[in-house]
């Protein structure tokens, strides 16, 4: 303990428990506790909260599948989450180089008439054909995300000539156009998994899912790739850096 | 319709419905349909899917509280989500200038002993006192986020001399240090709302929540502000831009 006498927290147990769970959760995601979490008594002292609050926090993390607890093994980290960058425009396969094999189960790949809202984003006329691709993306045996992609028709037709099972669409877009990708606009939301997505992603119905809408442009500014991506909330953390600029 | 004959989608209704719901959801968030959504028959043609799939998609959006439906009024947008930037380091009050008044209900503001995981991020010794602040943040009458903040002790003591109800902590940090903020590292996750957070944020238990962990540095590189922020998933969209750089 430091020199100054900190005031102990006197708050509702649920408030204390949530606080402990939040700090532990992020420390686990940062790769902390490779040899297991400290004992309840130790955490109680570290956080200046009651043993009951610590127990409640650990119960929350266990429910999230993040830790395992047992009388002999103590409290161990059960799953790791994977980081996906918010700073750069990188495909899933590029991101997880070194973590394991990314493979894609192609659930649909077809030409469809562009709905008006899609056509507008891709600067097409409503009803013009676009290429639609749906992929369930695995890291090893673990389903990570369910991606729905609309591609501009000319570029999309070329992309679909290549195997989508093992390639990022980003890499294929650059290959078929001979251009680098430029920028993308991104929207991130937390949504509950509908029954159908939940079954596909192997999570409980209503589980928290990261829903990304991403519109990617070629280097010349033309929008060619509109994606709706559902990432498992229990498996992926988005990470980035922010800079102050007022 | 365009010249080329697009192939109609023949897929499971649930797949079709999810697709329609995703596109409509983002179009609504972009400010689309100010005078109401198109009729079911029209959407069925736009998306090339069955009326039943459209109905299922609209039911999903209604369940999310995004639209209202009635026999006389048709289908209207019920709520708007607010955008929060992923590109720059901006406080909630700065972000929503022009949208309404941001006010903070201060639920806790006290000195506590820094848990080791917190101390490490703020480059303090474990057990050193840190200032802890918990705020429930409203835009008008609507609770938007529940923020737990750990501040470095010297800076935090100065910040707490100011009214937290009406100021962003970012603005206060710059005021009391005479420095601009530098950069922040950010982690974004989708998590289910625990019972207690849910009650505070006025959402159902288990509702999808955006959980941000953000460590903010002063311009001189010193980390002074570690926050755990729960944002209502049904009210906030995070938006940013990505650039290709391999």
How many interface pairs between A and B have CB atoms less than 8 angstroms apart?
271
Contact B189 A134 (CB under 8 A): no
- Is A95's pLDDT higher than 60? yes
In a domain? residue B244 = no
User: Does A36 share its domain with A107?
Assistant: no
What ipTM score was computed for the predicted complex, to two decimals?
Answer: 0.81
Q: Give the model's pLDDT for residue A82.
A: 82
- Is B7's pLDDT higher than 50? no
- Mean pLDDT value of segment B188-197: 89
Contact A14 B191 (CB under 8 A): no
Cα dihedral sign, B174-B177-B183-B186: negative
Return residues 116-155 of B near A (CB < 8 Å). 116-118, 125-129, 132, 134, 148, 153
Residue numbers in B near A90 (CB within 8 A):
246
Nearest CA to B137 among B26, B231, B57? B231
* Domain limits for position B41: 13-77
Highest mean pLDDT among B20-29, B129-138, B237-246: B129-138
A184: exposed, middle or buried (Cβ count in 10 Å: 0-12, 13-18, 19+): buried
Residue numbers in A near B125 (CB within 8 A):
2
Q: Strand pairing of A129-139 and A181-192?
A: unpaired
CA angle A145, A149, A151 (to 5 degrees): 155
Report the C-alpha gap between A145 and A63 in whole angstroms: 21
How confident is the model over A148-163, as pLDDT tens digits?
999 999 999 999 999 9
Residue numbers in A near B47 (CB within 8 A):
115
User: Does B89 share its domain with B61?
Assistant: no
Look at phi and psi of residue A206 and say left if phi exceeds 0, alpha if psi is from -120 to 50, else beta.
left
Q: How far is A241 from chain B (nearest CA, A)?
A: 4
- Is B81's pLDDT higher than 50? yes
Contact B134 A15 (CB under 8 A): yes
How confident is the model over A165-178, as pLDDT tens digits?
988 899 999 999 99
In a domain? residue A4 = no
Predicted confidence band of residue B134 (pLDDT cuts 50, 70, 90): very high
How confident is the model over A193-243, as pLDDT tens digits?
988 889 999 999 889 999 999 999 999 999 999 999 999 998 898 988 877
- Is A30's pLDDT higher than 80? no
Residue from the list A115, A153, A188 with its beta carbon closest to the beta carbon of B23 = A115
- Mean pLDDT value of segment A81-107: 79
Q: How far is B70 from chain A (nearest CA, A)?
A: 23
User: Does B131 share its domain with B206?
Assistant: yes
Q: How far is B244 from chain A (nearest CA, A)?
A: 5
In a domain? residue B124 = yes
- Is A9's pLDDT higher than 80? no
Contact A244 B88 (CB under 8 A): yes
Residue numbers in A near B197 (CB within 8 A):
18
Q: Structurally, how many domains does chain B consist of? A: 2
CATH number, domain containing residue A96? 3.40.1410.10
Residue of B nearest to A124 (CA): B2
Q: Give the model's pLDDT for residue A245.
A: 65
User: Does A124 share its domain with A32?
Assistant: no
Q: Residue B212's beta-bridge partner residues?
A: B188, B229
Contact B244, A88 (CB under 8 A): yes
User: Does B105 share its domain with B132?
Assistant: yes
User: Does A208 share its domain with A108?
Assistant: yes
Q: How far is B71 from chain A (nearest CA, A)?
A: 24
Report the C-alpha gap between B90 and B214 in whole angstroms: 12
Residue numbers in A near B88 (CB within 8 A):
242-246
User: Does A120 share its domain with A35?
Assistant: no
CA angle B139, B204, B193 (to 5 degrees): 80
Residue numbers in A near B235 (CB within 8 A):
none
Residue from the list B19, B231, B239 with its beta carbon closest to the beta carbon of A148 = B19
User: Does A219 share its domain with A175?
Assistant: yes
| Residue A123 DSSP label | T
Contact A187 B238 (CB under 8 A): yes
Please spell the DSSP secondary structure of B203-226, one letter per residue.
S-TT-EEEEEEEEEEETTS-EEEE
Q: How far is A228 from chain B (nearest CA, A)?
A: 7
Predicted confidence band of residue A76 (pLDDT cuts 50, 70, 90): confident
Residue of A nearest to B125 (CA): A2
Residue from the list A32, A190, A196 with its beta carbon closest to the beta carbon of B190 = A190
User: Does B169 share its domain with B54?
Assistant: no
Average the pLDDT over each of A51-55, A121-125, B30-34, B37-41 and give the range with the smallest value: B30-34
User: Does A36 share its domain with A136?
Assistant: no
Residue B11: alpha-carbon gap to chain centroid:
33
DSSP H or E run through B229:
strand B223-232
Residue A21: alpha-carbon gap to chain centroid:
20
Mean pLDDT of chain A: 87
Contact B239 A197 (CB under 8 A): no
- Is B117's pLDDT higher than 70? yes
In a domain? residue A49 = yes
Q: Is A244 on the interface with B (CB under 8 A)?
A: yes
Q: How far is A75 from chain B (nearest CA, A)?
A: 17
Contact A86 B242 (CB under 8 A): yes
- Is B4's pLDDT higher than 50? no
CATH number, domain containing residue A58? 1.10.10.10
Q: How far is A211 from chain B (nearest CA, A)?
A: 9
In a domain? residue A6 = no
User: Does A69 share its domain with A129?
Assistant: no
How confident is the model over B194-236, as pLDDT tens digits?
888 899 999 998 899 999 999 999 999 999 999 999 999 988 9
In a domain? residue B245 = no
In a domain? residue A30 = yes
In a domain? residue B2 = no
Contact B79, B234 (CB under 8 A): yes
User: Does B57 share its domain with B117?
Assistant: no
Mean pLDDT of chain B: 87
- Domain boundary at B77, B102, B129, which? B77
Q: Which two tokens stand for residue B169?
A: 């902590």
- Is B152's pLDDT higher than 50? yes
Say what percent of chain A tops pLDDT 90: 51
- Mean pLDDT value of segment B78-87: 78
Predicted confidence band of residue B11 (pLDDT cuts 50, 70, 90): low
Q: Give the model's pLDDT for residue B5.
A: 46
């Amino acid at each position: 303990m430091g020199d100054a006498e900190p005031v102990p927290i006197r708050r509702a147990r649920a408030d204390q428990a949530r606080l402990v769970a939040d700090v532990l959760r992020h420390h686990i995601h940062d790769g902390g506790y490779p040899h297991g979490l400290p004992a309840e008594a130790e955490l109680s002292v570290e956080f200046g909260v009651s043993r009951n609050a610590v127990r409640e926090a650990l119960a929350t993390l266990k429910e999230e599948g993040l830790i395992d607890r047992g009388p002999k093994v103590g409290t161990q980290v059960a799953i790791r989450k994977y980081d996906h960058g918010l700073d750069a425009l990188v495909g899933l396969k590029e991101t997880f180089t070194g973590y394991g094999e990314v493979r894609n189960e192609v659930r649909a790949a077809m030409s469809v008439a562009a709905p008006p809202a899609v056509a507008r984003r891709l600067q097409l006329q409503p009803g013009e054909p676009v290429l639609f691709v749906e992929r369930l993306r695995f890291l090893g045996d673990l389903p990570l995300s369910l991606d729905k992609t609309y591609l501009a028709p000319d570029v999309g037709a070329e992309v679909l000539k290549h195997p989508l099972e093992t390639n990022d669409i980003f890499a294929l877009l650059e290959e078929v156009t001979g251009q680098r990708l430029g920028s993308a606009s991104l929207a991130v939301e937390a949504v509950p998994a509908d029954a159908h997505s939940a079954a596909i992603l192997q999570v409980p119905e209503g589980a928290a899912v990261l829903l990304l809408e991403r519109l990617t442009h070629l280097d010349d500014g033309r929008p060619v790739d509109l994606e709706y991506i559902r990432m498992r909330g229990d498996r992926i953390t988005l990470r980035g850096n922010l800079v102050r600029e007022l």
